[in-house]
Chain A
């Protein structure tokens, strides 16, 4: 995390392209994650319900608990690495303290709750499917916001600190 020590990141000839590349790849990851989840388990109440509980009419078997656990285990790793890096870059570049606090808390809490709601939907009640969808899109929206804001600050020297 050398960028925490470099004085002016926006003028550093190495760090600026490196951080830009990282942020662009994070945006790609977020986009790809939405498409992947849509295919893997679905992103509407109907498709998620069919995935979690099966669909007799279309001969779809429900997922097993090991499949769900592997999915969550995988998601946890990518969330943790992406959101830690993104939060660190965003904190370094964006100078509004309150906005930073709200953004970081919101993205992390909604990411954690998205996983929790998915587990609750599978084990307890289909009523948790809609909260899962809301939390899923909320953390993606906040992550998009943080990545785009960081890119803006990286190329607008007056805004960053």
Chain B
């Protein structure tokens, strides 16, 4: 039974890597990885004939992401419950940082369209942080599943 759980967790980490990778590629394709592209994506661009994003449009994307990101971070991080105090503290900090990064990544869009251009930088930083910490957590879970929980 124990080995079956480890096997399921191993595949879960593979899916996690693919999910993070596809998310990053989608971000690159749809929005872009520079300040100017993010600005144009949310506020529109006359030269490129793109319209600014509406609250409703952002909400359609934000709603599933709020639910999904919260769930995935909790599920991935909860596997580290079985460990010593220092290790648990370390992964607690990673999980908290991930929750914050996810929150700002999703919510920045709303602030950008309201006129707070500073959130373009917050969006980019929180996205990179989310990807980096997400990959780190998935990699550590992969190592854990390989060594055995």
Contact = CB atoms under 8 A, between A and B. Distances in A.
A72 B20 CA distance: 12
Nearest to B81: A1
B25 interface: yes
Contact of A104 (B7, B18, B29, B75): B7
A97 B4 CA distance: 8
B19 A69 contact: no
A87 B8 contact: yes
Contacts of A112: 11, 14-15, 18
Contact of B22 (A76, A84, A104, A161): A76
Interface of A is mostly: helix
A66 B26 contact: yes
A69 B28 CA distance: 12
A104 B14 contact: no
Which bracket fits the contact residues of A? 20 to 34
A69 B31 CA distance: 14
Interface in A98-112: 100-101, 104-105, 108, 112
Interface of B is mostly: helix
B75 A84 contact: yes
Contacts of A87: 4-5, 7-8, 11
B4 A77 contact: no
A76 B7 contact: no
Residue among B8, B23, B30 having the largest count of chain A Cβ atoms under 10 Å = B8
Interface of B: 1, 3-5, 7-9, 11-12, 14-16, 18-19, 22-23, 25-26, 29-30, 68, 71-72, 75
12 contacts: A69-B25, A70-B26, A73-B19, A81-B72, A84-B8, A84-B15, A87-B7, A97-B4, A100-B1, A104-B8, A112-B11, A112-B14
